Amino acid sequence: MNKFEISRRELISSTATIGAASILFPTLKLSAGDTRELKIVDTNASLFQWPFRRLPLDETETLINKYRALGVSEIWAGSYEALLHRDLVGVNERLAEKCHETPELIAIGEINPALPGWERDFELCVQKHNMPGLRVHPNYHGYKLDDPSFINLLKLATEAERFVQIAVAMEDARTQHPLVAVPDVDLAPLPGVLLDFPDAKIQILNWKPRGAITSQLLQHRGIFLDVARVDSTDGIAKLIREAPENRILFGTHAPFLIPEAAMIRVAESKLNEKELRSLLSGAAQSLNRKVL
């Protein structure tokens, strides 16, 4: 049995004791003289409680223990509270405090440019908390990607050398509460918006890449994608090989999804060493050189 033939049941039952990374990648063949460890960075996680139901890993300590068992050494985390809270100063304060307590956590500030005074929230994220990136939820907050407020946020983030994470979806439409039905973010306006921001860096989270829009987005050198919702056993490999180098990042959408799910898809993708290192940490370094 090679590293890609392990059963999903075996992985899930073994992570608590010996770690998923050692199971999935035990025989990774390193280049001659290469002694680097296989660093794993999850660029798409959230802290605190999902608003609509409890999740098995929504306690931060439980989530971190799971990550440690999996061999993940760095986690970029936003906050579920940002979806429905209007007081994002408090949301980001709690997020920054929790991340400060845990060395693996990197706080990603939450911004809602549809709220009055959001520029102050941005300043606090950048100047007080020194957050390397900002996360937005346009579908939950009611604006489009060509809205002037989002364009202004993108301008400020680019000037401050911060990246922006756009969460396309948080939950499948089929399982949403009927009174809070939230469609996926429409990415169609983004390529046109980016024409005015050649130095912007944007990571698109929880998206299932499809159609011509994928190639249009990846033509911009500052667009990065995560793999949390990439379908099929060959989906990740196909995306990596079609995209420019170091543009596809590892993300799990934990704790809404169990982090093992993304690791299994990576293992089943049968990536070579260069592709694997790029996905698990190298592309994250390209997006955010200030953190790694």
| pTM score | 0.90
* Distance (Å, whole) CA 291 – CA 107: 11
Instruction: Report the phi/psi class of residue 129: left, alpha or beta, with left for phi > 0 and alpha for psi in -120 to 50.
Output: alpha
* Distance (Å, whole) CA 259 – CA 250: 10
In a domain, 106, yes or no: yes
Segment 279-288, tens digit of pLDDT: 999 999 999 8
Low pLDDT (below 50) residues in the chain? 1-5, 16-18, 27, 32-33, 35, 291-292
In a domain, 203, yes or no: yes
In a domain, 20, yes or no: no
* Distance (Å, whole) CA 68 – CA 62: 10
**Which pLDDT does position 2 carry in this prediction?**
43
Segments forming the whole domain that contains residue 101: 37-174+181-287
In a domain, 26, yes or no: no
CATH of the domain at 60: 3.20.20.140
What's the domain count of the chain?
1
Adjacent-strand bridge partners of 77: 45, 107
Segment 242-269, tens digit of pLDDT: 999 999 999 999 999 999 999 999 999 9
